[in-house]
Amino acid sequence: MSDRPAILFVCLGNICRSPLAEAALRAAAARHGIGIEADSAGTGGWHVGEAPDLRAQDIALRHGIDISGYRARQLERADFDRFSHIVALDHDNLAVLKRLRPSGARAELSLLLDHVPGRSGQPVADPYYGASEGFAATWADVTAGAEGLLAKIAGLA
């Protein structure tokens, strides 16, 4: 276990929102020269081993980030001690995290948009069943959330 912040983003299937949030945080950390560990996972196992949704890959590429090598994985019990922060993308996944979190685990749980002024308690909308435009809104949300979270954990705020 490293001393640097380790952040895990969690959504349902780990093919849309959470890999985009992971990519946004990695990009923000690189811009600010901050060392972090970032990963993503899903509470469900339907997409384990799959690449992110092609629409998620497309929106990330439009922002200069290639996520085609990411692979979906399911949340594991060990994640609650491996990561300093586990960040859910919506209320349902946060509820699952709270239920699964072992007593004494080190991970701090939150919603991603809790880290954006004026957005606390709001979920990042799931773009999976909608049109491609929904992925642009998701990208905007996860980028704002990543910047806010990074500011909090790196003391930039």
Active site residues: 11, 17, 126
Contact between 81 and 105 (Cβ < 8 Å): yes
Write the CA distances from 7 to 48, 130, 134, integer angstroms: 19, 27, 24
Instruction: Give the pairing of strands 37-42 and 6-11.
Output: parallel
89: nearest Cα among 9, 2, 1: 9
* Alpha carbons 120 and 128: distance in angstroms, whole number: 23
Write the CA distances from 25 to 15, 88, 153, integer angstroms: 16, 14, 12
Place of tokens 């339907």: 46
What is the secondary structure of 24-67 as a DSSP string?
HHHHHHHHHT---EEEEEESS-TTTTPPPPHHHHHHHHHTT---
